Chains A and B, each alone.
Chain A
Amino acid sequence: MKERALPNPGWGPLSALPGNPLMWVLILSEMLVFSAFFALYAAERVAATALFNASQRELDPLMGGLNTLVLLTSGLCVALAVEAVSAERIHRARQWLGAAMALGVLFGVIKGVEYAGKFAADITPETNAFFGFYYGLTAFHFAHVLFGLALLALVTWRTSTENVETAAAFWHMVDLIWILLYPLLYLLR
């Protein structure tokens, strides 16, 4: 690729990445952090397979699947917001960002219902190693959802192409982590 064709000239090796290069550094580091947790989960599962299998039965994979569909649709909304703001359709971009935030809140509500059901059944992070991972990984991910919602609100207020593109990249990273988390915790049994 010629230097003048690079999306971010002057950023060294990061100059070939689209959008805000620092967001890609964050995405890479978050993927590595979650991969390390997944490796720990895998090792613990091998050490206590029967316990993990019995505990996994207590989860509701349909709720997890519903949340996957909600989050991926929210991702579409922020991607459409980027398209709109780059075409200088600010009002439309804000509408898409509003829809993305509404779906992000819905994700949180579904997650809250799921947590409430677990706590009502006296299942807490201290119950066993599996639920330690379940609460730890999903709560860590949920903290990213909350931060992402704050970012989306911020760029809805301060709407520019660069701002929306940066917040959208963070939101897609939240999608990406959930895509990997869902089969690990809910589906593979």
Chain B
Amino acid sequence: MTSLPGTRRLLVTWAMLMALTLISMISARLDQGSWQALPLWSAALILLATGFKAQRLLMVYLNLRAATPAWKGTFMGLVVLTLMLIAGGYLVARLTG
């Protein structure tokens, strides 16, 4: 059994995940009644918050911090690739739509 993150680290991570989710929701301007395309900085902030949430979840909740740098890089690389796919599709649709 590898060393676990510990209760304190888990609680701090949970608080960060909650805060990042709320930041994403605020960035998406959910308070506005009318539907409008987001400013690009808002979309970028949402994607950055999502990437950081995925990183925290992998490293702390899934305890990937106990693995080798190669495995950490593999999983984070896949998260970044997925976010690039999401961002790329969104940007192309925004710029050509």
Contact = CB atoms under 8 A, between A and B. Distances in A.
B is a partner of A: yes
B7 A83 contact: yes
A172 B57 contact: yes
A188 interface: yes
Contacts of B63: 18-19
Interface stretch (A43-51, A140-148, A149-157): A43-51
Contacts, number: 164
Interface residues of B, number: 58
17 contacts: A18-B63, A31-B79, A35-B78, A38-B85, A42-B93, A45-B90, A46-B96, A62-B25, A65-B30, A76-B13, A79-B61, A82-B4, A172-B61, A172-B62, A180-B50, A184-B86, A187-B24
Interface of A: 1, 7, 16-19, 24, 27-28, 31-32, 34-35, 38-39, 41-43, 45-46, 49-50, 52-53, 57, 61-62, 65, 68-69, 72-73, 75-76, 79-80, 82-83, 86, 161, 165, 169, 172-173, 175-176, 179-180, 182-184, 186-189
Given A7-B67, A187-B27, 19 more contacts: A16-B67, A16-B68, A17-B71, A18-B64, A24-B71, A31-B79, A35-B78, A42-B92, A42-B93, A49-B97, A57-B35, A69-B21, A72-B21, A79-B10, A161-B1, A169-B62, A175-B61, A179-B50, A188-B43
Interface of B: 1-2, 4-7, 10-11, 13-14, 17-18, 21-22, 24-25, 27-28, 30, 35-38, 43, 46-47, 50, 53-54, 57-58, 60-64, 66-68, 70-71, 74-75, 78-79, 81-83, 85-86, 88-90, 92-94, 96-97
